Amino acid sequence: MQLLGAPPPVLPSGSAAPTNTPATAAAEEEEEESLLEGHKAAREWAQVHGQHEGRTWAVGSGAAATLGQSNGRDAPARAEDGSFGKEASAMGASPSRPLEQSPSSSEGENHRVKYASYTTQGFRPHMEDALAVELDLDATTSFFGVYDGHGGAEVAMYCAKRFHTMLLEDVDYINNLPNAITSVCFRLDDDLQRSNEWRESLNPCANRNCLTNICANLHHFTEDYVPPSYEGSTACVVIIRGNQIIVGNVGDSRCVLSKNGQAISLSFDHKPHHEAERERIQRAGGHVFLRRILGMLATSRAIGDFAYKQNRNMPPSQQMVTCVPDIRVENITDDTEFLVIASDGVWDGMRNNNVVQFVRQELRPGEENLRETCEKLVGHCLHSNDNATAILVKFKPIEEDPDEVASARDEHQHNPEGGDEKLDINNDND
């Protein structure tokens, strides 16, 4: 496995990702009590600010996105038991059936890959996941992205709408995809900070009464804009170009590749309790409590979440929460079978190896149905009590036209800096 490009942070060669130690039942009860007490002020904040209506966005030709209701633009997400954060619902009683948002699926193929996606609200009261697929972003490039929102759905919606289009516009798109991915993450953050235009882009005028829209715009210009303080999103994007898979990851969604039945992590979960993340959080003036930043946010990198990006003495890359992605690249070989990109609602329910074996079993020769397999995979993980979204991408046999391969390589030559560095990240990111 290679690292392409210098800017994105990487794990040292041969290093292993931190592991989590399972808590005992007593420790979990104590953790829940402490968490609920620690979030008293945030609960009061959310009670004051109320709710807003969620929306649905369809992303591009051949693309799919699923989104839903959110419980407050800037408030930490609150489960019905009063707790906060992406993992909070597991602490209380869960409903007997999924709520509100209907599951959504899609599928498609081109000469390189076949894919299927499936997303469901699960047992969460609100749907905040989104996804986007562009099988032919250009003649030699396919794009897949999973965005797991928290504190609301709109940041994830905006990422699903804009990430791949910004990528196409970036000056490094052709020659340095890692730089382009990093640039897009920062541009998305800049959009969220600058004005309310990003949110208005999710609500086109054609869908509203014109007089109401004019009044809303006048009101918009007479008040100071406040960026989304406690609303944000992960971003796990996969670009397939030529004979390479390039993965950019911000947060705790994840991409896992199957090569000859072996599960290979192509991303690293950004969790506050991991050493490098915790050290950055502390340098920025924060602390990690109950494996969460300030006892609240369960991921240490995200687009949005500007309440955690307020240290004026630190650059954006060194804030408590940063949007800097990790970049991984893997060559496509004859034994490259498929990859799974999913939100943590899937990975909380199954380990990497289990997911790979589950999919391989479902995709037996003569019984291949990607849509059904993806639906079964997500359904198998619903006990995690979270929204769950997955994209399954199956690779077709490598075409053996040397002229076509050489042409693609020449057209999309990457910056060779860091190209020989090997990464050992074949782990379950626990």
% of the chain with per-residue pLDDT over 90: 59
DSSP states along 142-167 = EEEEEEEEES-SHHHHHHHHHHHHHH
Q: Is the pLDDT of residue 344 over 90?
A: yes
- The pLDDT of 305-321, averaged and rounded, is 97
What pLDDT, on the 0 to 100 scale, is given for residue 410? 53
Q: Which of 303, 289, 204, 244 is nearest to 5 (CA)?
A: 244
Q: Is the pLDDT of residue 271 over 90?
A: yes
- The pLDDT of 63-68, averaged and rounded, is 41
The residue that leads in pLDDT, 330 or 416, is 330
The residue that leads in pLDDT, 78 or 368, is 368
Q: What is the pLDDT of residues 317-341, one digit of tens each?
A: 999 999 999 999 999 999 999 999 9
The residues spanned by each domain of the chain are: 25-411
Residue with tokens 């909070």: 88
The sign of the dihedral angle between the CA atoms of 236, 427, 119, 291 is: negative
% of the chain with per-residue pLDDT over 70: 64
Q: What is the pLDDT of residues 233-249, one digit of tens each?
A: 999 999 999 999 999 99
The CA distance from 94 to 417, in Å, is 49
Per the structure block, which two tokens stand in for 211? 């007089």
The CA distance from 131 to 389, in Å, is 8
CATH class of 25-411: alpha beta
Q: What is the pLDDT of residues 350-363, one digit of tens each?
A: 999 999 999 999 99
Average pLDDT, the chain: 76
Q: Is the pLDDT of residue 203 over 90?
A: no
What pLDDT, on the 0 to 100 scale, is given for residue 51? 33
